[in-house]
Every structure is written in C-alpha cells, then in structure tokens.
Amino acid sequence: MHDDRALVEARLKRVLDERIRPALYPESVPLEVAAWVAPGEPVPVAEGLAAEHTPVAVGDAWGAPWGTTWFRVRGQVPAEWAGRTVEAVLDLGFDERMPGFQCEALVHRPDGSPVKALNPRNQWVRVGAPVRGGERVEWHLEAASNPVILDVHPFLPTRLGDRETAGSAPQYRLARMDLAVFDTEVWELVQDLEVLGELMAELPVDGPRRWEVLRAVGRALDAVDLQRVNATAGAARSELREVLAAPAGASAHRISAVGHAHIDSAWLWPLRETVRKVARTTSNMTALLADEPEFVYAMSQAQQYAWLKEHRPEVYARVKEAVAEGRFVPAGGMWVESDTNMPGSEAMARQFVHGKRFFLEEFGVENEEAWLPDTFGFAAGLPQIMRAAGAKWLLTQKISWSQVNSFPHHTFRWEGIDGTRIFTHFPPVDTYNCRLSGGELAHAVRNFKDKGVARHSLAPTGWGDGGGGTTREMVAKARRLRDLDGSPTVVWERPSDFFARAEAEYPQAPVWVGELYLELHRGTLTSQARTKRGNRRSEQLLREAELWSATAAVRCGHPYPYEELDRLWKTVLLHQFHDILPGSSIAWVHREAAATYAAVAAELEGLIGGALTALTGGGDTGLVANSAPHARGGVAAGALAPPVAEGPEVSVAPRDDGGFTLTNGLLRIGVDGRGLVVSAYDLAAGRETVAPGAAANLLQIHPDFPNMWDAWDVDAFYRDVVTDLTDADEVVLGAVGPDAVTVRVSRTFGDSRVAQSLTLARGQRRLDIDTEVDWHETEKFLKAAFPLDVHAERYAAETQFGHLYRPTHTNTSWVAAKFEACAHRFVHVGEPGWGVALVNDALYGHDVTRTVRDDGDRGTTTTVRLSLLRAPRFPDPETDQGRHRFRYALVPGAGIADAVREGHRINLPERRITGAAAVPPVVAVDNDATVVTAVKLADDGSGDVVVRLHEAHGGRATSVLTTGFELAGAVATDLLERPWEDGPALDREGNSVRMRLRPFQIVTLRLRRAGGAR
C-alpha cells in the first residue's frame, strides 16, 4: 500500500481548522452590549453593576492598560432554538496563544453572583442544554485589560509593567458578542479527531496501530460532508469508535492528571490582579467540577484561598463545598509557592506553619506534600523543614529547565543537610501547564528516567502562570485517554493518591544528596536588591519583635501581639513568592513591595519599642538589647544589659601610598591609596588573609545581557569581560576613636557613584564594610571581590538551619554550572585550623573560584565575590536604579562557628537604649553550636513559650536550655507546635532541659510556665 500518511494528516488539519471547528456554533444572533469604564482601581461588584453604561459594538477598542471595563450584555434566545444547546460566545479580543497573559473577565448575573470566567481558552457561557426558546439573558462582565508584557517577541523593555508609566491607549478590540447554538456532536467530533490525530503523530510509523488510526481518521473525514458538517458529524464519529475503544497495553505508562492552574501570586501583574485571577479561575474550576464527576482539581498557596475568602466569599463557599467532597484539593501546605533559596530559616518554616494551619482550620485538611512546580531551585535545608511540618512528599517541575545537565531521576528520595529524606517527583511531562496533548504524553513516556522500576507519573493539567486552569476540552481528552491503545493511561487523581501509589511501587528509589540546583535563573539571587533587603530586614525585625514581646509577656505581663505578628508574618511570606523575592516581577510589584516593607518595618519597630519599654521602664542606665543568638559585648543572647568594652583600643597610621593602616590588637588592616584592602593580617595566627599581589573589597563590573530571561538569568559568558573599579575620588579618615576607626572611600564609574566606610572596631576580628551605591547603569553586573590566600577545594554557604558545601573547582559539568549560587548570612573558606568568612546583611548571590599562583610559593588564591547589583531591563526597565546600601564584613581567622556568630551579628545589630536595669534572657542555651532562631509565645494563646533552635556547626551537640521562668513542662513539637515523636529526647531538671542534637537538627520546644500562664 502506498504511504499516504502526509496526505491524510494534512487533510485532517485543514478540515478541522476550516470546516469542523467553525461548525461548532452553526447559528448565532448578536447580543446588545454596553460598557462602563471604572476610574482608577477595580471597584466593588455592586458599583460596577449600578454604573451607567454606554452602548458599544463589536470592533470597538477598549481597555487602557490595567483598567477595568464593565460590559453589560443582553439578548433573547430565538424561539426556534427551543430544545437545542445554547451558549453565549464572548470574545473580548483574545489571542488564544496567551491564556493568563492578557485580558480576562469574570461574568456576573444581574444580582452580582458570579457565573464563570472568560479567557482566551474559555470564551463561552452556557445558557441552557436544552433551552426552552425565548429566554432573556443578561450578564455583567468585569473585564480586566491587562496588557501583554511577555509578547511573542519576549524580553523587550516595556513601560506597560506599571500603571504609572503604562499610558492609556486601548489594548483590545471586542471581537464577538453573540448568542449561539452549540452543536455537541460537532464538539465531540473535534475532541475525537484531536486525540487521534495527536496520538497518530507519536506512534511508530512501522507499527500497525498508527495505520489503524490513520485509516479510521481517513474514513471519518470521508464521512463528513463539508457543506453539511453538522448533519454528518455523527456519521464521522461512528467511523472512529472502534479505534477509540481499543484498550491500552498492559505495560502502558500510568499518568495521574491533576487539574491545575499554577497562578503566580504576582509576576507580570500586580498583587491586586492576582486576587481577581484566583476568583476567575476558581469560578471556572468549581463549575467544571460540577459538570465532570471524575475531574479533580488542586490549588496550592493558602494566601490565594485567603484572598478568595476575603474578596469573593460567594466563590469561596463553592470552593469549600468542593473541598469537602474531596475533589478541590488544597495542595502544598505553604502560604505561597515561595522561593526556597533566599527565605531565612524561620521564614521557610513559617511558610509551612501558616499554610498548613490555614488548610487545617478552614478545611480540616492535613497536607503531606509540598507543591512547588515553578520554584527556581531548592535549598538543601528544605527536606528537614518539610518533615518537621508533617510533609513527606515534594513535587516540582522547574529542574527540567536546567541548561547543562539533565537530572538523572524523575522519582527519587531527596536528602537534605541533616540526613532527612523526602520522596520527590519531577513530572516527566516537563510542564506544569499540561494540556494532555498527544505530544506531551508521548514525551512523558519517552522522558521518564525510571522505566523498568516505576511506571507512574503526574501531569499538572491546565493553563497556568496567569491562571485559567483546566478546560472542558482537557477533560474530554482525559476521558478518551483513560484506556487507549498506543497512549499512556490517564486518570484524574489527587496528589496524595498519586504519591502514595508512586512511593509504594518504588520503595528503593534512588537518593539525591544536597541542594536541587537549577542551572538557570541564577540572576534572581541579585535582581531587585531593594526587595531582597526588605525581605532580610523584615525577617530580622520579626525575630526581634517575637523575642522581645515574649520576654516582656513573661517578665511583666506585657500583652503579646498575636494578631499583629500573624498578619505581618503573612505579609512577609507573601513577598517571598518565587517571582517577588527573586526580582522577576514587573515594576508595579516591586514598587509596592518597597512601600510594604517600609510599613512592615515601621510597625515592627513599634512592637519592639513597646516591648523594650515595658521591660526596662524608666531610667537612664545605658543598655544594649542583644537579639542575636550569641553573647556580645558582655551582653548575653536575648538579654538587655550595659555593654562591656572588649580588647585594646584601635589605632590608625598613614601609609606611604596615601592609604591607612588600622590595628586593634587582633587584626592589622592595610587600605591603600586606591581605597582597596591590600592586607588583612591575623595577628594571633601570624597569617595574611589577602592573596599576594591582590586587593580585596575590589569592586568589579561586568556586561550583563543574557540570551533571554533578563531579570532571571546570568549567563556564563558575563565573566569574559570585567572592569576593576580601582580609581578612587577620595580616600580619607572618617570617624576616629578608641572604639573604632573608619576609612571612607568614594568612587565614580559610568553614571554611578559608590561611597564605602571601612571600619575596624575594638575587640572585633572583622573589617566592616558599609557600601552605598547610587546606581544608574543598565545591563551591568556589580560584584565585590575578595581574593584570599586560602587553599580550599570546597567552601561553606549558609542555608536554612545550617550550611552546605560546594566545590571551588570545576571538575564536572555539574560543578561548573554552579557559577553563581546562593548563601544567606555567610560564605566560609578554610584550611584545617584557619579560615576566612564573608558575612553580609542583605545579599544572596555570590561566586567562588580558585587559581594557583605562578609566583614562587605556588599558593592557591580562593576568590569570593559577593553579587551586589544588576540592571536588567525586562520585565522592569528601571530595575535597581537609584540608591542602595549593603553591609558586609571580612572575618579573618574564622572557623564555621565564627562565621555563624558574625553572620547573626551583622544582621541583628545591637539596640542601644536607656532603662532602669538589666533584663536577663527568657531562655538561655549553654552551647554556641546550638543556635536559637525563634523565641515566641505559642500560637494557640496558651501562654506557653516556644523556642526553635538547631545545631549550626555541622556536628553533634549536647545542649542545655535554661528558662528564666519556673518551668512546669517541656515537650518537643513539630513546626505547628504539636507534640512530635521525631523530636530529641528531653531530660528536664528544674528549669533546665538537656538534649542531644545531630548535625543541623531542628528542634522546636514548647515550654509550659508554672503558675497558670494559660
């Protein structure tokens, strides 16, 4: 037989596109349309309904960027349509290629109740099936004219990303506003042919199944009368029944489809628009659940449920009902789908605390999975945090985006820094916006790396990013693919059911140890520095507010601000969403974030001030409030006491090159006439820190124009061109005194200016560097380099509740791909017995490289560079323009313990206040290896004191915690403050609790106070 595959396949495409799909709505009548444009921001539904509307017509332009237009559509079903299925077709000017990325609408009845949403892949509203004929219809469309930011030609700078700069030009034209007859048989024929056509394209050419499908499709096309499609659709479907009924083979891969709409809590739209996107999507999904009994839909992010509850309670009621039925699944158990690289230890824990508690309180649902399909890599401390929150499974998709190395597993156990293992799945379909197309499913089968030992994967199914969710077409495809020869089987399933089945079938899944590094989007560790600084400052202020408020509550009965802290934590957690904190959102998002962080800081400062005043009362004794987890200046951790001067006074002397030498008995620092650190000599060790012939605190600037994903990416070739900023406008002494000496350095480059203060303080083994940058470069990358005379094959970088090690060499492609990585408060490099730490108060991105010198000693230079600023132009064309401040410090002679201590110290500066007397800590720990990350009152209002701590040095530690109150009981709990059998054994004696911690172990203690604190 002749090979006519190409002929039949081309025929199928044309007939579908030009004859069958257009026959879906064979008869239509226009609707009457009127519009009202809301001034400014969106208005309440009642106001939109009551406004005076003006007639408009199909073809009219509408919608200024970020505006809201209320369309009123009215009409009457023709009497002759009685007994038929009728829908309204409402096309606002959609581009079907961009669901979630352009205009959308929520349809309301005249009484204001929501019906469903409209988007480029969901343009219909059902009137009746069947109709009586003669019905009058009226709907009100709350239409959002969200501009297209990421267009067909992506990554072009645009001012559309902020309402303040977007202008007022209409973005769309009304395309269709009709009542129409919906031909169900034609619609079903479209689904039949799409499923078979897509399947056919993936089947082996030399296999009989492909030819069986091809011949059946050919017969169906023969049965269609192209001038009478509606009359002949049934006959065409008859030709396809046999091939659609052929069952899948016994070895077919099994796919669990989970209805899904990954809705970014902010990205190319502001937070307020996400509130509406959630309402639109959930309106459609609850309606689809009502129509399709087998369909299951999952939505993560407790914040989005909370928005729905607050802003659209009538939609939320539908969601709660569907949740109770087990078909609308709250997934993930986190407040938002956060970044996991940059949130601090407590913040990462609180993502689960607040997310899981919301789902428990609202729905009675206990999540056992983390659902993070789009997060940009996963920190090595996450498995233990998940386990302590009661989660045991993880789903993500993004690692499939890695540029260099293909991850070797799709189903595996992920081991974190403390040894905790989490069963993890990467869907081999390689998308979190699956449409259940034949190509996607065939890719999942081919791509699945665990064949032979597992045969089960998950497919998050629906339009996402900007929302939309699963469509009726996707559900129709799933119905046909449930058991179809040549295809994997597809079954709608809850995530927990998938994970339980997958784990049971693969008990010996392989293990991956350490971080799940995404070989892409490395620039997100630096972009939008103000947002990152706001996050870090908020995290530290929240720690202080809880500590001092709990101390004041215990010591003097000061009211504990439960509600305020709960609200402020949720605000900070929201802004850790994986496009806000990483800096990949539009300008509007980051402008609002800056204002939000300022408001959060002001409120937290008020709570801290109120608690400290309650603790200290009146008096003029100079006190230091030490919120860091280690003693400093004679003040215990968590205490208020007069400071004690430490060490000899600081001296300064001029250098011949125009610089200065600073000495404090511990370090001798040489700053040359260029303002560079050419020596950092450890006097006790008799050892130089700076590599021979090199200079530290060297600012370097690179061109930064990645191939795509501007705010997200830093491509390796950026390192090929570098300019050292060695010219100084001024190098002078600043403050000089017995307790500290400061050298001030100023530089100009391009259109920017840098002012630095280099300070050596009394009794401190560190050089503090306070850097202020007035940044006006574009597409440039600014780094601060510290070439160190250290031979190190690996370095330590702080992560949540500990640190991990990364190689300094590039032996393998896996290591070489980590040319930009994340650290929290410190990076440490060392040889046995001596090392150097770099600590910071607002930075995350860095790189570490090593070279062997060609001089006589053939020593190794290990260079640590802190990433300060970038200047991408998409999606925010003004990214990071303006003033910034960074504080970092060089700590010679540091071990890991020193790095941990100094990292906390720079992030939690002492507060100097006056008061009546010193205040001892409410809890104290006797081992510096055991770091307290939180002291608070229990969330249930019982008055119990909750302390979270962890082993921070990477070894075993025996620690004794002593309370500053009479202790009636102590219990180890999970993160949600519930008794937990996986906690350490506690040996309580009086007001002390002894425990033994394994390396990096997290422990949460609930301490009951004697005397009826409850």
Whether the CB-CB separation of 174 and 55 falls below 8 Å is answered with: no
* Cα-based distances in Å from 283 to 94, 277, 660: 19, 10, 68
pLDDT at 724: 98
Pick from 62, 141, 139, 70: nearest CA to 105: 141
Question: CB neighbours of 631 closer than 8 A, spacing ≥ 6?
Answer: 637
The one-letter code for the residue type at 621 is: T
* Cα-based distances in Å from 665 to 4, 486, 575, 760, 767: 88, 77, 44, 11, 13
Q: Write out 377-438 in H/E/C secondary structure.
A: CECCCHHHHHHHCCCCEEECCHHHHCCCCCCCCCEEEEECCCCCEEEEECCCCCCCCECCCH
Whether the CB-CB separation of 253 and 445 falls below 8 Å is answered with: yes
pLDDT digits (tens, 9 = 90+) for 947-985: 999 999 999 999 999 999 999 999 999 999 999 999 999
DSSP code string of 221-263 = HHH--TT-HHHHHHHHHHTTHHHHHPPPPTT--EEEEEE---B
- Measured over the CA atoms of residue 142, residue 147, residue 151 and residue 152, the dihedral's sign is positive
Kindly state the tokens that stand for 576. Answer: 């850790």
Query: What are 796's strand-pairing partners?
Result: 805, 828
Instruction: Report the distance separating Cα 308 and Cα 3, nearest Å.
Output: 56
Q: Which of 14-23, 644-653, 871-880 has the lowest mean pLDDT?
A: 644-653
Instruction: Report the distance separating Cα 561 and Cα 544, nearest Å.
Output: 13
DSSP 53: P
Active site residue 374: yes
pLDDT digits (tens, 9 = 90+) for 220-278: 999 999 999 999 999 999 999 999 999 999 999 999 999 999 999 999 999 999 999 99
Give residue 154's Cα distance to chain centre.
22
pLDDT at 1014: 45
- For the segment 557-567, the average pLDDT, to the nearest whole number, is 98
Whether residue 647 is predicted with pLDDT greater than 90 in this model: the reply is: no
Whether the CB-CB separation of 272 and 278 falls below 8 Å is answered with: no
Instruction: Report the distance separating Cα 707 and Cα 723, nearest Å.
Output: 21
- Measured over the CA atoms of residue 846, residue 849, residue 853 and residue 858, the dihedral's sign is positive
| pLDDT-based confidence at residue 1 (cuts at 50, 70, 90) | low
- For the segment 598-602, the average pLDDT, to the nearest whole number, is 98
pLDDT at 975: 98
Q: C-alpha angle 66/67/73, rounded to 5°?
A: 135
pLDDT digits (tens, 9 = 90+) for 316-339: 999 999 999 999 999 999 999 999
pTM for this predicted structure: 0.97
Residue 697's Cβ-side half-sphere holds a number of Cα atoms within 13 Å equal to 35
| pLDDT-based confidence at residue 856 (cuts at 50, 70, 90) | confident
pLDDT at 1012: 54
Whether residue 907 is predicted with pLDDT greater than 90 in this model: the reply is: yes
- For the segment 560-581, the average pLDDT, to the nearest whole number, is 98
Pick from 249, 254, 248: nearest CA to 480: 248
* Cα-based distances in Å from 422 to 680, 854, 955, 972: 44, 46, 22, 21
Q: Write out 740-779 in H/E/C secondary structure.
A: EEEEEEEEEECCEEEEEEEEEECCCCCEEEEEEEEECCCC
The one-letter code for the residue type at 885 is: R
The one-letter code for the residue type at 858 is: R
Q: What is the rounded end-to-end Cα distance, in angstroms, of the chain?
A: 86
Residue 421's Cβ-side half-sphere holds a number of Cα atoms within 13 Å equal to 12
* Cα-based distances in Å from 325 to 279, 283, 365, 460: 20, 16, 12, 20
- For the segment 420-444, the average pLDDT, to the nearest whole number, is 98
Backbone angles phi, psi at 930, to 5 degrees: -100, 110
Instruction: Report the distance separating Cα 389 and Cα 393, nearest Å.
Output: 11
* Cα-based distances in Å from 882 to 553, 730, 775: 41, 21, 5
| pLDDT-based confidence at residue 493 (cuts at 50, 70, 90) | very high
Instruction: Report the distance separating Cα 230 and Cα 26, nearest Å.
Output: 8
Q: Is 372 exposed, middle or buried (0-12, 13-18, 19+ CB in 10 A)?
A: buried
Q: C-alpha angle 835/840/846, rounded to 5°?
A: 75
Whether the CB-CB separation of 283 and 117 falls below 8 Å is answered with: yes
Helix spans in 270-312 (H): 271-291, 302-311
Share of the chain above pLDDT 90, in %: 97
Most distant CA pair in the chain, distance = 102
The one-letter code for the residue type at 575 is: H
Cβ–Cβ contacts within 10 Å for residue 121, how many?
19
Token pair 């309106």 is found at 283
Whether residue 439 is predicted with pLDDT greater than 80 in this model: the reply is: yes
- For the segment 8-28, the average pLDDT, to the nearest whole number, is 97
Query: What are 352's strand-pairing partners?
Result: none
CB crowding 823-858: b at 16 or more within 10 Å, else e: bbbbbbbbeeeebbbbbbbbbbbbbbbbeeeeeeee
Pick from 797, 977, 755, 757: nearest CA to 896: 797
Q: Which of 233-247, 665-679, 855-869 has the lowest mean pLDDT?
A: 855-869
pLDDT at 152: 74
* Cα-based distances in Å from 328 to 167, 323, 336, 492: 39, 5, 18, 12
3 state DSSP class of 992 = strand
* Cα-based distances in Å from 242 to 8, 245, 485: 19, 5, 11
Cβ–Cβ contacts within 10 Å for residue 170, how many?
15
Kindly state the tokens that stand for 745. Answer: 């350095």
DSSP code string of 4-31 = -HHHHHHHHHHHIIIIIGGGGS--EEEP
pLDDT at 725: 98
Active-site residue (options: 91, 162, 183, 374)? 374
Instruction: Please write down the long-range contacts of 704-707, taking CB distance under 8 Å and 24 or more positions apart.
Output: 704/523, 704/779, 704/780, 704/781, 704/870, 704/871, 704/872, 705/779, 706/523, 706/872
The one-letter code for the residue type at 913 is: I
The one-letter code for the residue type at 17 is: D
3 state DSSP class of 797 = strand
Residue 383's Cβ-side half-sphere holds a number of Cα atoms within 13 Å equal to 22
For the chain, give the mean pLDDT.
Answer: 97
Instruction: Report the distance separating Cα 6 and Cα 846, nearest Å.
Output: 53
Q: C-alpha angle 930/931/935, rounded to 5°?
A: 125
